Structure 1
Amino acid sequence: MSSNPKILILTARYGNGHVQVANTMYEQCKKQGIDNVVICDLYSESHPVFSEITQYLYLKSFSIGKQFYRLFYYGVDKMYNKRMMNLYYKIGHKKLHEIILAEQPDILINTFPMIVVPEYRRKTGNVIPTFNVLTDFCLHKIWVHENIDKYYVATNHVKEKIIQLGIHPSLIKVTGIPIRPQFEQEAKEEDLHKKYGLSRDKKTLLIMAGAHGVLKNVKELCQYFLAKEDLQIIVVCGKNQTLKDTLSPLAQAYPDRMKALGYVENVDELFHITSCMITKPGGITLSEAAALGVPVILYKPVPGQEKENAIFFEDTGSAVVVYKHEDIYDAVEEVFKDDAKLNSMKDKIHKLHLSNSSEVILDDLLKEAETMQSTKRIKGSVNYY
């Protein structure tokens, strides 16, 4: 294999996590001098209408569609069989074939579980080294297939789940989930406190309220905690302009203790100065929190990977899971009134972090791909294409 192989990264826009990991792997390739890299949202390119509808249903699962998503996530897991694989294989197969013919990739990386990719090898005999980069702290069977050459996972817990499905341990590497490099860099907290107009002497509650509008009554929550003089609040509203407009008068009334922000590009800066965060349990957000040792209060996880992520973090003692809005108040107070508990959560979540995941993954899969190609050459095999 050349020192500059052609890499095709396949992903899907069901939440931001899969695409974010794809982008992180893309940037790591560039950093290591690999410039023949293409990211493809396979489902959007092959079935745009189907993809748009299913992405809409996915977003609705955070509010009115929880039962639908529960049925999909756990139902597919239970019904996972040859018939199901054939159905998934048909979704995107034609487009995948076109892309492979056009791009002639040396390596395939999946950041979304698409059975069509490993099934393509089984159906066509076209052997391209194929690697799955899992994006959650739990496992869905749809990630696992006999024609995946190696799995890169967040924890030993996920590795054990894959082994139970019959995959050899040598084909699974615990690397953590790739995150943006700024979450693993040092920062001067004093400068960041000044930048955002906050005090270093007060505890800071970060509320990630923008994602899908799932956190209700944010204004009332802020009003309640602003009554506590030793606490300051940052609310990230994302693209939810209505929420930002609602909170702006309150932030103006407490300019030294509350910040209402829209979309924040350098959200890592906020993580650096945060004592505890209220958020949804997405795999990437949790990985970023672990990197900087930010304890989390996980609000109302959706059935599926979010709920499984939440359970894992709660079991490790690094998170508190809240299922009812009225319980958020007690959960926050419980965490902030007990410094020993807060520090324990901080320590436990940071222990879940594995450094330089994207670099470790890329180095390893390049070696694996080279070994596969060398083996083929020794056996006198024809080229991949």
Structure 2
Amino acid sequence: MNSNPKVLILTASYGNGHVQVANTMYEQCKKSGIDNVVICDLYSESHPVFSEITQYLYIKSFSIGKQFYRLFYYGVDKMYNKRMMNLYYKIGHKKLHEIILAEKPDIIINTFPMIVVPEYRRKTGTVIPTFNVLTDFCLHKIWVHENIDKYYVATNHVKEKIIQLGIHPSSIKVTGIPIRPQFEKEADKDELYKKYELDPSKKTLLIMAGAHGVLKNVKELCQSFLSNKNLQIIVVCGKNQSLKETLAPLANAYPDQLKALGYVEKVDELFRITSCMITKPGGITLSEASAIGVPVILYKPVPGQEKENAIFFEETGAAVVVNKYEDIYDTVQEVFSNDELLGSMKDNIHKLHLSDSSSTILEDILKEAAGMYSRKEMKGSVNYY
């Protein structure tokens, strides 16, 4: 393998997390002097209609389609070795073959569990060092395959789960989940309080309402919190313009207590001046929260990896999970009135953070791949690119 290898990063647009991790690894490659890097959304490129439909169903799973997603997430486990998995093995095979012939990658990094990639090695005999970067604090079996060369995971908890499936411990490295570098940089909090016109002497509740299905009746919830004069609320509406417009009259009436924002590019700034936030338990959001040490209230997790993430964070004392809308107000009031609980949650979530994950992962991948190519040169019998 040459000193400037060709890296192919494969991902999928089911939620923003997988793509975000792919982009973070791409930027890390560039930062490390690796110029030949390609990101491919394999399913969108190979089966655009199928991908569009399933992405739509994924989004709907946060509201009306929870039973569908529960069936997919937990059902795949049950049919893991059955005939229906054959379809999943094959999806994207033709496109993957085309990409490999065109790009001739030295390394493949997966930020989404695509069995077609390790299956490609089994079927063709073509060995390209292949690595899985897991994007949650739980494990689904479809990440695991005998032809994956190494796994990079968030916690020892996930590592143990992979070991139980028969993977050797040396093939699993606990690195944390790659996040955007701004979450690990220092920032002047006083300047941020001024920028967002917030009072540093008051507690701040951040509501990440832009993501699919995080919270309903946001306006009513904000109205109920306004009675607490020592609490200021920031609602990030993201691309949900209608929600921002709905909140605008209330925000204008209570400018010192409520801020309704659209899409926020530097959301890490808000994390730094937040006492606690309500969000959905996506792996990336939780990783970013842990980097800064933001206690989280996780509302009504969707069955699947988000529910598993929520359970893990609640069990480690880093989060409170709320499953009923009518319990949110009381939970928030309880958390904000208990400084000892807030402090404990802050400490516990920050303990889950592992810094410089993308750098650690890439450095290890390059070392592992170089070792594989070195062994290949000695054996000289396997088809490598």
TM-score with structure 2 setting the length: 0.99
Task: Compute the displacement of 1:84 (Å).
Answer: 4.3
Matched, 1:156 2:145: no
Match of 2:225 in 1: 225
Q: Which amino acid aligns with 2:189?
A: E
Q: Is the 8 A contact 1:278 1:298 kept in 2?
A: yes
User: One-letter code of the match for 1:198?
Assistant: L
Structure 1: distance between partners of 2:217 and 2:108 = 44
Residues 69-80 of structure 1 mapped to structure 2, 5 A cutoff: 69-80=69-80
SS at match of 1:259: strand
> What is the DSSP-based 3-state SS (H/G/I as helix, E as strand, rest coil) of the residue aligned with 2:126?
coil
Other structure's SS at 2:127 match? coil
List aligned pairs for 1:79-228, cutoff 5 A. Answer: 79-81=79-81, 83-228=83-228
> Identity of counterpart residues, as a percentage?
85
**Residue 283 of structure 1: aligned partner:** 283
Unaligned runs of 5+ in 1: none
Q: Superposition pairs for residues 59-70 of structure 1, below 5 Å?
A: 59-70=59-70
The answer to whether the 8 A contact 2:205-2:232 is kept is: yes
Point out the more displaced range, 79-88 or 326-335. Answer: 79-88
Partner of 1:324: 324
| Unaligned segments of structure 2, at least 5 residues | none
Structure 1 vs Structure 2 CA RMSD = 0.9
Q: Take 1:383 and 1:15, find their aligned partners in 2: how far apart are those partners?
A: 35
In the alignment, the residues of structure 2 paired with residue 182 and residue 4 of structure 1 have an alpha-carbon distance, to the nearest angstrom, of 26
Deviation at 1:136, TM superposition (A): 0.2
Q: Which amino acid aligns with 1:375?
A: R
- The equivalent residue for 1:41 is 41
SS at match of 1:83: coil
Rounded Cα–Cα distance in structure 1 between residues aligned with 2:128 and 2:82: 22
Distance 1:382 1:173 in 2: 26
1:143-198: per-residue Cα shift (whole Å, max 9, x none)? 00000000000000000000000000000000000000000011100000000000
Corresponding letter in the other structure for 1:101:
L
Contact 1:62/1:302 (CA < 8 Å) preserved in 2? yes
Cα offset, 1:213, TM superposition = 4.1
- Provide the C-alpha distance between the structure 2 equivalents of 1:213 and 1:372, rounded to a whole number of angstroms: 44
Residue 89 of structure 1 contacts residue 120 of structure 1 at CA under 8 Å; is this kept in 2? no
Secondary structure class of the residue paired with 1:233:
strand
Following superposition, the deviation at residue 81 of structure 1 comes to 1.0
Once the 2 structures are TM-superposed, how far is the Cα of residue 32 of structure 1 from its aligned partner? 0.3
Question: 1:340 matched to which residue of 2?
Answer: 340
Following superposition, the deviation at residue 86 of structure 1 comes to 2.4
Residues in 1 aligned to 2:269 and 2:32: alpha-carbon distance in whole angstroms = 26
Deviations 1:235-264 (A, max 9, x none): 000111110001011111111221100011
Q: Distance in 1 between matches of 2:383 and 2:41?
A: 27
State TM-score, norm by structure 1: 0.99
Structure 1 CA distance for aligned equivalents of residues 42 and 321 of structure 2: 34
Whole-Å separation in 1 of the counterparts to 2:279 and 2:116 = 33
Is the 8 Å Cα contact of residues 8 and 107 (structure 1) preserved in structure 2? yes
Judge conservation of contact 1:213–1:240 (CA < 8 Å) in 2. no
1:201-236 deviation per Cα after TM superposition (whole angstroms, max 9, x unaligned): 000000000111441111111111111111000000
Corresponding residue for residue 357 of structure 1? 357
Could you list the runs of 4 or more consecutive aligned residues of structure 1 that deviate by over 6 angstroms after TM superposition?
none
The aligned amino acid for 2:118 is: P
Instruction: Give the Cα separation in 2 of the matches to 1:213 and 1:67.
Output: 15
Q: Deviation of residue 83 (structure 1)?
A: 3.1
Amino acid at match of 1:357: S
For 1:89 and 1:254, how far apart are their aligned partners in 2? 54
Whether the 8 Å contact between 2:57 and 2:65 is mirrored in structure 1 is: yes
